[in-house]
Amino acid sequence: MIEIDARHQPYEVSDLDGGTLLGFLAEDRVVELKMVRKKLRLAYQWAIMHPPSPDKPKAVVGDETLFPTDCEDRISGDGTPDVALFAVEELAASGGMSRAAGFALVADALDLVHRLPQLWAKVEALEVPGWNARRVALLTRKLSYAAARWFDEQLAATGLSGWPTIEKWLAMAIAKFHPELVKDPSAAKGKADWGVWLHHPHAGHEEGAGGIAGTSELQAVGDSLDLTRFMDLLNSEAEAMRRLGDTDDVNQRRAKAIGRLTDDTEQPTLTYPTLTDDDSSTDSTDIGIDAGIGDSESGTGSSTGTGTSSAVAAAGGEPVLGNPVLGELVIGVKPGRLVTTPGPFGRRRGLRVMAHVNLADLFALGLDPHELGLDGDGITSTDRLGQVLTTQLRDWITRHGSLATITPVVDLNRTDAVDRHDPPEWMDTLVRLRDPHCVYPNCERSSWDADLDHIDPYQPPGEGGPPGQTRPENLAPLCRRHHLMKTHGHWRYRRTRDGTYIWTSQHGRTWLVTPQGTLDTTTTNTS
């Protein structure tokens, strides 16, 4: 393996002795420090070269709107200059970064120069690594300008830059200037912390096999009683599944219980009739504690099998708790029976998932009457949930078969055109299948969540527009941000005959977007 040293001289790695190898490592560390410093310098210079103007409002962190509103966060901290809309996108594309990475680089540079000047001086002197300084810039971004400058001065006065020192003075700056942010770590979370978050791993972006296992993560923070009742509901369903023969462990059954609760297909469950006055041997009053989602027509919760608990008065006046779904008999209640009932949420669906499988995998899924007996362990791509195993897809179809539809294969070579702005369904599907993500340089947002853009802008026929403007060759998926940037940011692009895209920025830089990634094709004069 041939490498080049700091003096631009080649050397063979396998020929190095121990001392020389360690010397090169030390030398390369200095090179790395200089490279990070250089990127911050360039990002800062680019930012101050592009201030907002009347036709270009300031850029904000918000991703879906063209003009900012008061609720959108500015890029960098208090006391830093604003940057014009769309300026960061070109910087990110030129650096081979995502838009988010470009925004972070610009924000860190602005914060270091204007809010943390003494820390920036140490970066300039190569005394503090640029990546450490960038982390400090991020941690202090929400502080006021006065708080950030005070923190910077106190940190510099210590002469230290280790993380224990940084964390100590950051905590003191927060306590001094933002006491409202100081929260007792032992205090319970409040309503401001509530939320529900769903994360779908994607193959190639996650460690291990999580990206192709059809497995996602759901996190919820909310009202204690609501979440406790929901957990009780999952526990009840999990126990019912165990009694019905499910051998998975309790955590796996709880996870599968979510699917049972949202499933509209008929499933086996345990149910018990409701206790009535005629069934009871006493004259005492029944007390119902509904911990789940009941049957509004019958007035019971048990018929749905979703975890309704009951309290009844036994002989002698002592209440006896029982959960029919858990198989706990309630005094005066007849034995349960196995029935099938639809899930409690009915047929409401807010998500459509399209899976793409080849013919052999379809046979393996058992969707053909003449099943070939394949093992079905291939990989299937989906439009919103990443890549999953065909065995997982088979499970989905088994559990949600009433919602599964097999659609004909779309002819990706079809070239029909229509004389209207919006494409027909077949054309919409064709374009999204052909280009699975936004075709802007380095953007990986799914085409199923993107706009379909007319590459050559659409002109209504009544205003002189030619026929056949809406056709597959003139359509491409662009996420909302990059669609707006193409329309208002003076960028242009075209689709080539081989299906790739060539983008040109307002500064004349070019990129080639291919199914394998983005290439910077700008001709650079190195003389």
Two structure tokens written together for 380: 């299937």
DSSP string, 337-361: EEEEE--TTTT-------EE--HHH
- Outline where 323-434 has alpha helix (H): 359-364, 390-399, 425-434
pLDDT of residue 158: 93
Q: How far apart are CA 100 and CA 93, in angstroms?
A: 11
Residue 378 scores a pLDDT above 80: no
Task: Give the pLDDT confidence of 23-40 residue by residue, as tens digits.
Answer: 888 888 999 999 999 999
pLDDT confidence of 210, banded at 50, 70, 90?
very low
Look at residue 32 in the predicted model and tell me its pLDDT.
Answer: 93
136 contacts 119 by C-beta, under 8 angstroms: yes
CB of 311 within 8 A of CB of 226?
A: no
Tell me the average pLDDT across 147-171: 93
At residue 78, the pLDDT reads 95
**What's the first-to-final CA gap in the chain, in angstroms?**
28
Helix (H, G, I), strand (E, B) or coil at 295: strand
> For position 103, what pLDDT does the model report?
92
Which segment of 72-81, 394-403, 429-438 scores lowest on mean pLDDT? 394-403
Please check whether residue 447 is in contact with residue 431, taking contact to mean a CB–CB distance below 8 angstroms: yes
C-alpha to C-alpha distances, 119 to 4, 128, 143, 188, nearest whole angstrom:
32, 8, 16, 36
What does the pLDDT average to over 420-441?
A: 93
**pTM recorded for the entire structure:** 0.62
Tokens of 99: 């838009």
pLDDT tens by residue, 316-342: 333 333 443 334 433 333 344 444 454
Q: Which amino acid is at 172?
A: M
The answer to whether the Cα torsion of 383, 386, 389, 392 is positive or negative is: negative
Each residue's pLDDT tens digit, 444-455: 888 988 999 999
DSSP 448: G
Distance CA 117, CA 174 (A): 19
Residue 376 in contact with residue 395, Cβ under 8 Å? no
More confident residue, 288 or 150: 150
Which residue carries 């509530």 as its tokens? 194
**395 in Cβ contact with 259 (< 8 Å):** no
Q: 213: exposed, middle or buried (C-beta count within 10 Å: 0-12, 13-18, 19+)?
A: middle
d(CA 513, CA 520): 9
Residue 298, amino acid: S
115-155 tens-digit pLDDT: 999 999 999 999 999 999 999 999 999 999 999 999 999 99
Arithmetic mean of pLDDT, 180-191 = 69
Q: What's the pLDDT tens digit per position in 219-273? A: 999 887 788 889 999 999 999 999 999 999 999 999 999 988 876 555 665 554 4
Mean pLDDT of the residues in the chain: 76
146/114 Cα distance (integer angstroms):
11
Q: From CA 522, how far away is CA 382, in angstroms rounded?
A: 34
d(C-alpha 6, C-alpha 44), whole Å = 26
